[in-house]
Amino acid sequence: MSLLPVEQAQARLLALAAPLSAESAALSDTAGRWLAEPVTARRDQPWTDLSAMDGYAVHWADMPGPWRLAGAVQAGAAQPNQSLAPGTCQRIFTGAPLPPGADTVVLQEDVAAEGAMIRLIGDGPGAQGRHVRPRAGDFAIGQALLAAGTRLGPPQIALAALAGHGALPVHRRPRIAILSTGDELVPPGAPCPPGKLPASNGLMIAAMARNAGARIEADILVLDDLARMTEAFRAAGESGVDIIVTSGGASVGDHDLVRPALEAAGGLIDFWRIAMRPGKPLIVGTLGRAIVIGLPGNPVSALVTGSLFLLPLIRRLAGAPDPLPRVSEACLGAALPAVGGRADYVRAVLAGGIATPVGTQDSAAMHAAAGANALIVRPAGAPPAAIGESVAILDWTTLGLAG
């Protein structure tokens, strides 16, 4: 079986997925999620003309004064009913509504009070309407504010709240089951005698998935036993999750049982083995309504393939219109050899526009990978690259790996 190029594999994986159904979520539960429908304003912002500064509300036609002080209005007050009479002013504070008839605010530092009279001593506002936030100056009722497919961050959530919304239509969070396979695995923190290995991949995958907005429904260890692994697949499929992620057991060894167990559970293999390093033995398939991704067992391989396949899949299901990571460029900080028949994803430290490969690129060297913050993307068959040469990179933020 020939190896599938990464771009083709990503396209085939995403073709298996469609955005999940929409639900109404409270604003407090929308951070990082994608809108399923457009959002329009339910109110004007500001709701009326408001003062942008502390000072005095005046009618521009009365400039340059003096004015007789005729009251005060504070932020949070309803708009005064009484119109501002000619030759009068009202003390006003930032965020307070202008009284009817007022159209300009004179800054408090530009006037002097002489009893009930307010006189201009500074330059004044300079133009009609200065220091006033006009009604609907930010947005008006019925105005389109956010398009479907927008990812909601803090500014977008604040905008929705100001627009009168307490909840928004967002795509459902993808639900994930994680199966870490291997007789050698022990739970993190448990005694680890010779021959055993702390199970780190499940924790790493769960952290990656949560950062992308998914819910982890199960995270279990599965022995290298065909019957047990088959039952674990069946249970995960019957649980109604959207994605089943396995770690380990995806290669061709006698104990690599993910493919036969998935098929024994009634699943279908869509493709297997990718032309990339690290991460060649990636498996993608389906089990009922769930999409199955079999990641390699080596932790760096799981990290790289998870960021290039699992995270884009989560984003697609969650409603992202552009789920794949964006490629940018940097200058190479150390020479790299020619690339063979598989695309090479080199762990690197990106600083000041320079990407320098970390000391070891072994697929099990998690210490070095944890110190990286980018991948240098070297296409299959690429010639040697010299220091200072421009290279394609995927930084941790783009990949979804930033803390």
pLDDT tens digits in sequence order for the chain, 403 residues long: 689 999 999 999 999 999 999 999 999 999 999 999 999 999 999 999 999 999 999 999 999 999 999 999 999 888 888 899 999 999 999 999 999 999 999 999 999 999 899 999 988 999 999 999 999 999 999 999 999 999 999 999 999 999 999 999 999 999 999 999 999 999 999 999 999 999 999 999 999 999 999 999 999 999 999 999 999 999 999 999 999 999 998 776 666 799 999 999 999 999 999 999 999 999 999 999 999 999 999 999 999 999 999 999 999 999 999 999 999 999 999 999 999 999 999 999 999 999 999 989 999 899 999 999 999 999 999 999 999 999 999 999 999 998 7
Whether residue 200 is found in the same domain as residue 277? yes
* 77 in any annotated domain: yes
* 154 in any annotated domain: yes
- Sign of CA pseudo-dihedral 247, 251, 257, 258: positive
Closest listed residue to residue 286, CA positions, set 303, 265, 304: 265
* 211 in any annotated domain: yes
**CATH number of the domain bearing residue 120:** 2.170.190.11
Whether residue 189 is found in the same domain as residue 282? yes
Can you tell me the distance from the alpha carbon of 279 to that of 239, in angstroms, rounded to the nearest whole number? 28
**CATH number of the domain bearing residue 343:** 2.40.340.10
Whether residue 192 is found in the same domain as residue 211? yes
* 346 in any annotated domain: yes
- Sign of CA pseudo-dihedral 367, 371, 376, 377: positive
Whether residue 264 is found in the same domain as residue 154? no
- Number of structural domains found in the chain: 4
For 291, the domain range is 6-20+174-317
Whether residue 125 is found in the same domain as residue 181? no
For the chain, how big is the Rg over CA atoms in Å? 30
Whether residue 163 is found in the same domain as residue 178? no
Whether residue 299 is found in the same domain as residue 188? yes
Can you tell me the distance from the alpha carbon of 297 to that of 183, in angstroms, rounded to the nearest whole number? 12
Whether residue 281 is found in the same domain as residue 294? yes
